[in-house]
Amino acid sequence: MSIIVDERTRAIVQGITGYQGRFHTERMLKYGTKIVAGVTPGKGGETVFGVPVYDSVNAAVKETDANASIIFVPAPFAADAVFEAVDAGVEIIICITEGIPLHDELKMYWKVRDAGAILIGPNCPGVISPGKCHLGIMPVHVFKEGKSGFQAGVVSRSGTLTYQIASNLSSLDIGQSTVIGIGGDRIVGTGFVEILELFENDPETNIVVLIGEIGGRDEENAAEYIKKEMTKPVVAYIAGLTAPPGKRMGHAGAIVEGGVGTAESKIRALENAGARVGKTPAEVAEIVFEELKR
């Protein structure tokens, strides 16, 4: 099994005729992802790499029975793209777009939550269940299908650290059940706790890797959940130990204010919850290997 996406996922690409949408559609198709339609208003009737393009998400869903959408729509229009997907009944929405205004992200969050759908992102690299489905912009060659009893689920706020740690895991022959980049903005559709719960209930995920960074309380909230609810081992990595307070580092959510959200406080909370925290990406993979061999 896997979480969020698998071989049954039928996806549409919103913004398929733009440069990014076209480029990543080709990559996802080559991986084997079932891209059943694209959507660009005014471009209905065209095709992109054999994928039919529709003027609206509603039309695409009706014709193809799609249950997922990946969004490559520019920031000023991304919230409307998410709303359109929700209104069409799409269950899984992955928003790659960065630079979306905070108030738009808040509207997106509640729209998706009220509909009972799943939003991954925005400003995220997407989701991959190795060998089954890839909806995103990740470098697929670093991920590996797992063997029974030797699979890690990975959830991360950082794209590049996701790739690095997945590569380290793969080099030790540790496969990944699913890898999710939840995004680094202050408001994301799905947080650590929701993903941890899905991994906890996934029989093919044997251990969970949590990749966090400075800013906010997401990792502390995850630590509380780990302590109370998780029966599977959790290994973590927190980026930003040397970041100066009050300065945003890369992601909109990666800012330490008033002494809250420091790397030290997050590491302490996770270790107190029973998670093991690696000092480097390579050490994280080594700890995972150790835990799986027990």
How does pLDDT run across 148-207, given as a tens digit for each residue? Answer: 889 999 999 989 999 999 999 999 999 999 999 999 898 999 999 999 999 999 999 999
Residue 31 has pLDDT above 60, yes or no: yes
Residue 229 has pLDDT above 90, yes or no: yes
Mean pLDDT of 256-278: 85
Span 93-107, pLDDT tens digits: 999 999 999 999 999
Indicate if 251 belongs to the active site.
yes
User: Which residue type does 138 have?
Assistant: M
Span 105-156, pLDDT tens digits: 999 999 999 999 999 999 999 999 999 999 999 999 999 998 888 999 999 9
Residue 293 has pLDDT above 70, yes or no: yes
User: CA-to-CA distance for 182 and 119, rounded, in angstroms?
Assistant: 9
What integer pLDDT is reported at residue 148 of this predicted model?
Answer: 87
Helix H, strand E, coil C: the string for 15-53 is CCCCHHHHHHHHHHHHHCCEEEEEECCCCCCCEECCEEE
pTM for the full model?
0.94
DSSP state of 245: T
What integer pLDDT is reported at residue 242 of this predicted model?
Answer: 56
Residue 52 has pLDDT above 90, yes or no: yes
Lowest-confidence segment of 228-237, 249-258, 267-276 by average pLDDT = 249-258
Residue 256 has pLDDT above 70, yes or no: no
What integer pLDDT is reported at residue 254 of this predicted model?
Answer: 47
What integer pLDDT is reported at residue 286 of this predicted model?
Answer: 98
User: Which residue type does 91 have?
Assistant: E
Instruction: Please report which confidence band the pLDDT of residue 262 belongs to, taking 50, 70 and 90 as the band edges.
Output: confident
What integer pLDDT is reported at residue 294 of this predicted model?
Answer: 84
What integer pLDDT is reported at residue 278 of this predicted model?
Answer: 98
Nearest C-alpha neighbor of 49 from the set 20, 26, 15, 21: 26
Show the tokens assigned to 73: 């729509």
The residues pairing with 93 across neighbouring beta strands, listed in sequence order, are 69, 119
Residue 1 has pLDDT above 70, yes or no: no
Mean pLDDT of 245-259: 52
Which domains, and CATH codes, for the chain? 10-120 (3.40.50.720), 138-293 (3.40.50.261)
Nearest C-alpha neighbor of 238 from the set 207, 200, 264: 264
Span 60-105, pLDDT tens digits: 999 999 999 999 999 999 999 999 999 999 999 999 999 999 999 9
Cβ atoms of 4 and 178 within 8 Å: the answer is: yes
**Considering the chain, what is the average pLDDT of its residues?**
94
24, 103, 141, 251: which one is catalytic?
A: 251
